[in-house]
Structure formats: C-alpha cells, structure tokens
Amino acid sequence: MSSPAFTLYAYWRSSCSWRVRIGLQLKAIDAEIVPVHLVRDGGEHRKADFVRKSPLAQVPVLEWEENGEVHRLTQSMAILDFLDTFEGTPLIPSERNPRAKSLELAEIVNAGIQPLQNLSTMLAFEAAGADKKAFAKAAIEKGLHALESRATSAGNFLVGNSPTIADICLIPQLYNARRFGIDLTPFPTLLRAEESAMKLEAFQRAHPDQQPDAQPA
C-alpha cells in the first residue's frame, strides 16, 4: 500500500510526537513536520485553530488527504497502529504472545506514566500548590520499575530481537526520565533496549535534537 502525503503536527520534545516520528521512520514514510510549540505564547496547541484539529489540545496529530477528503488522527497509539498497515518494519508483532506483550509494555508508558508527567498535568499540580516535579518523578520511577519487571525478553529489545511499539514508547520516556534527574541504573533491561534502538537510523533520525523546531539546550 503506497502512502499518501502526510503532515505531522508535533513538538520536538513531545514524547508522543516522538513515538510517531519513530513509527514513520521505521516505515520509511515521509511526513511534513508542522511544529506546534507547547510553551511559547501560552502554548500554540491551545489556540482555537489547533484545538479544532485536536480537541484535547495535544500533539501529535497526523493529517493526510485521501480521495479528496482530509483525514486526521490523534493519539499516538492509534497513529502507530494505522502506520502499521503500511509496508516496512512491523511496529506491532502479529504473533499472539509478542503482540500482547509489546502492547502491554507500551501501555505501561502510554497509560501508566506519560499522562502523569504531561505538561497540562504538571500545570494543574502547580496551580494546586503541589510539588509537581516530585509527583512526576515518582510516577515515572514507579512506571519504569513496572516496565523493568514486565520486560522479560531475553532479546536485545523489549520484546525479542527487533524493535516494537514497546521500544517506540520506551525511548522517549527514558529521555524524560533523565530530564527529571532519575537514576536509571535499576533498569538494565530498559537500558539494553535503548542501546539497541539507538543503533538504528530510524530511532536516531526521530530524536528531538534532529527536529526542525529543536531548541538549543
């Protein structure tokens, strides 16, 4: 199946945008990146024009035109599942057990960690006078411990010897963990998968530092 022309609304440091960039790279699908700045000017994702595309005011959004109709998808997991209908490296294994395991691990990150350290969650904590950084750090640590204990693969990646949606979710989450100053030494399985993934060009090209809207440290 050949791919239509895609546009990806994304922010360089957004972990969910990063997941989709990895998926696009693994599938060798080109997409025009339209940066949406999550901080500048109160957040471009909160502007009415963008909220019409993404009612939760979140990136990523994948957009394309097919048969004269504009299609949009939000939610990185749904986007990855959609991308997996195209030829190229499978993102979600087709075999029953690896498929279930890769989705389990991906959901630990997607549902069990990322929402608890998301920008809007942090801002709500701040508004309530809570220690947002301590909360986010504890949530990431708890989630990474769960991930480490559920990642039982003897292979180089989280599930076997090829990257799956589990690694796609892991890599950006480890980057965020480092930003929060989390010690990653208790997570050898996760670090081994990261090392394997970062040897691949697809993962290197999807890195935030390689994006058009990347900001100097």
Ligand X SMILES: N[C@@H](CCC(=O)N[C@@H](CS)C(=O)NCC(=O)O)C(=O)O
Of 177, 182, 168, 172, whose CA–CA distance to 209 is shortest? 172
Residues that bind ligand X (CB under 6 A): 14-16, 38, 45, 57-60, 75-77, 110, 118-120
- Of 110 and 153, nearer to ligand X (C-beta) is 110
Instruction: For residue 9, give the 3-state DSSP assignment.
Output: strand
The answer to whether the beta carbons of residues 109 and 173 sit under 8 Å apart is: yes
Q: How far is the CB of 118 from ligand X (least distance, A)?
A: 4
Q: How far is the CB of 43 from ligand X (least distance, A)?
A: 6
Instruction: For residue 35, give the 3-state DSSP assignment.
Output: strand
- Of 25 and 54, nearer to ligand X (C-beta) is 54
- Of 110 and 211, nearer to ligand X (C-beta) is 110
Residue 211 structure tokens: 């994006």
Q: How far is the CB of 132 from ligand X (least distance, A)?
A: 12
Angle at 44 between CA 59 and CA 36, to 5 degrees: 45
- C-alpha distances (whole Å) from 186 to each of 4, 95, 146, 178, 192 are 43, 30, 11, 13, 12
The Cα 59–Cα 14 span in angstroms is 7
Q: How far is the CB of 175 from ligand X (least distance, A)?
A: 11
- Of 176 and 189, nearer to ligand X (C-beta) is 176
Q: How far is the CB of 141 from ligand X (least distance, A)?
A: 19
- Of 111 and 198, nearer to ligand X (C-beta) is 111
Residue 37 structure tokens: 């700045």
